[in-house]
Structure 1
Amino acid sequence: MTFGTRGDIQPYAALAVELARAGHEVVLAIPEQLTDLVPADLRTPENPSAPAGPRAPGPGAITVAPAGTHMLGLLRDVMPDLSGARDGLRTMSLMRAAMKDHLEETWRAAQCEPDVIVYHSKCQGAPHIAERLGIPAVLSIPLPFYTPTTAYPAPFFGGASFGRVGNRASYRANRLGNALYADMLSDFRQRIGLDGRVGRLQDPLVNPDGSPVDVLYPYSRHVLPVPPDYPSTAHVTGYWFLDSPADAVLSRDITDFLEADEPPVYIGFGSMGFGKGAEDRRAAVLEALERTGLRGIVATGWGGITPGAAADPRVLVIEGAPHDALFPHCVAVVHHGGAGSVAAGLRAGRPTQVVPFLGDQPFWGARLHELGVGPEPVPPRRLGRSLAAHLGQLVGTPAYARRAGEVAAGIRDEDGTAAARGILERIVDRWG
């Protein structure tokens, strides 16, 4: 079970593919808009929207169970028109209604006699569903968000350190995830036949019986080393990559642009940005490319940058493209620092400039600079003043490219989905 934009779903689709190709039966609960992430040769043709929920697929197959379709539609409709956090608060009632739908959808998806549930932390009904079914629930998120450590603070605090004691204490904030939805989750528990209410500060790393929750962290230890104080239930597996199909190709306008001259810089902020600042970001990006004389591919996403062709023939503006196919053709990449974009850029061995907007993005931006693969992060509000200088550093510093290549070699030696599969198989065997 996972929810979010394409970058949030894609790693879990990769895990589903790994499990199916190893002969396991998989139900993947995701928004209908992203069903295409599952390869057609593995996807079952049956209707997962039937009232009884999806039947268990055959070995080596994946059933896509729609979950979060309404919620993702709201995000896509609303986000480009938001001007900031205040506008976001006004959508809270809409999102709460969609969250209720999502809880019911994930409950229906689980009516397939599963052995284990793997869930992104946004799928808050999952541990309650697992408790009701008497099976293990394995939490998963592609950043070190839950397990306390003295090595660094919880990622939502950025890249600063609070000292050993302060770093570990910062993870208590993760219990606030239930605060907004405790009443809704308590009602959901009653709906599916469970007793007890959800505490507003309930520890997400403790099962109802008091045992520790296993957590899969799909990022690379070559990007962020595993802290020595991590328990055995915290599993850093390596990234979960879902490569584009072998017959997939970049669009003709992209390939023509790539073949016309030297490799470009990629610049894109995905679904970030709140649309009312998109025009300013577009102006800052185009000006920085002009001042540095660099060729650029600018991806507008849905809300990050205002779309429309650039007047400069050395700049191609696109809506988006598969990162695994495009990034190897670029000299460097500039993005918002989402976990998926970070993974794709580093796997391609490309120097990286992070422009963090929110959440864990400042953490990854600081980490990539510390790792030596790019300059310090640039806040979005400073793009107009700073982006040109940072682009010059990004492309003109050979050490960044050299270090990015070293990190890429380590990442390519990992097989994150296979490691996760082995962990899940052991958890199920232990549970049984």
Structure 2
Amino acid sequence: MVHRIIEWSLQNRFIVLVLSAALLVWGAFAIKKNPIDAIPDLSENQVIVFTEWMGRGPQLIEDQITYPLVTNLQGLPKIKYVRGTSMFGMSFIYVIFNDDVDVYWARERVLERLSTVSRSLPTGVSPQLGPDGTGVGHILWYTLDAPEMDLGEQRALQDWYIKFALQNVEGVSEIASFGGFQKQYQITVDPNKLLYYRLSVPEVMSAIRLNNNESGGRKFELSDIGYIIKTSGYLQSIEEIENIPVKNQASIPIRVSDIASVQMTGETRLGIFDQDGEGERVGGIVVMRYGENAAAVIEKVKAKMSEAAKGFPKGVKFDIVYDRGELIQESVDSIKHTLIEEMIVVSLVVIIFLFHWRSALSIIIQIPITLAASFILLNAFSISSNIMSLTGIALAIGVIVDNGIIMSENAYKHLSQRYEEWQEQQKTTSL
């Protein structure tokens, strides 16, 4: 069979050259299309469901949220298993599907089931799906270098400006904020004063909630001019909260300031983010969407960061803590250097031992064609260009080169023998 292939190839050299050129062009397009990442994605095909119920202990979260969700999500089609984790104020459910299931199909099935399960959960509790990213989706970490801003202002800048700007980048699933303080108005109620004025905590909460509202009226026309009537009642300062009336007793209003103290503070934190032992920092984590090209997404995120930095206050700038793009570039550079080294070594070996430049050229041509064909197969099996796949290609190049050298040496040997036999025949004929 091999002899027939070789014979047909020798008889149809033009067709072989055209097919080789077509394979090389197809492979070049495959290289551009193939997603590039530093590490292979070996994570499970999972959908994360998280639920917040702040202020509750892990056991209560387990009994009233985690257990009902786990038991109801187990009947989904094409599912492997369901894992649940309960912690203070939070519940995480990991729904693991079969590897051949499309992740967005799986998310739709989970959403359908959650629409019916939510009825059995406590009032005000709403389960949510996690980002459509994988376990290795953290492609870039950054912090804010803002020495003249406090941690609360930095977190506000991150949550209300930077996060919205970077989330619009194609291929980004989520921007997870960390560090700093999330500003909030905190009302500390004095229980003795509540007892004295015969009030309850729900009454105080209801009064504050009703006074933090905005409502619309109607359109009023006067002298051919239309006026829009509305009521603006959003709370904007500590003084406004303190002056909210909770209840009237003997025609005397009891305000929030009479029973509680109001202050601007940060939400209770369970940890801090310290960078290089130089103090706390505020920043974010860029989570890549499932199946995206990590190198392309990182490049787009950096371009958006440069654009968003133009709107920063004076003295504020980005500080990139972790960038997978550097590791990706090193991997790509490694395979390039390996190719160049292999071509040089092969050329020298063939030329030195065979003194035949055409044999060296035939081996060198095999390397880019084989490399291009390997990327066609990578795309066919949905495998990205990462450390493992590129290392395998680099190792395979050595095998390709070895085979090329052996075949060239073997062909050169047989051709030399045939040439010697032909010369002997010519001498015999002439005699």
TM-score range, shorter chain: under 0.3
Higher helix share: 2
Report the TM-score when normalising by structure 1.
0.20
Higher RCO structure (Cα 8 Å, ≥6 apart) = 2
Q: Which has the larger radius of gyration?
A: 2
Report the TM-score when normalising by structure 2.
0.20
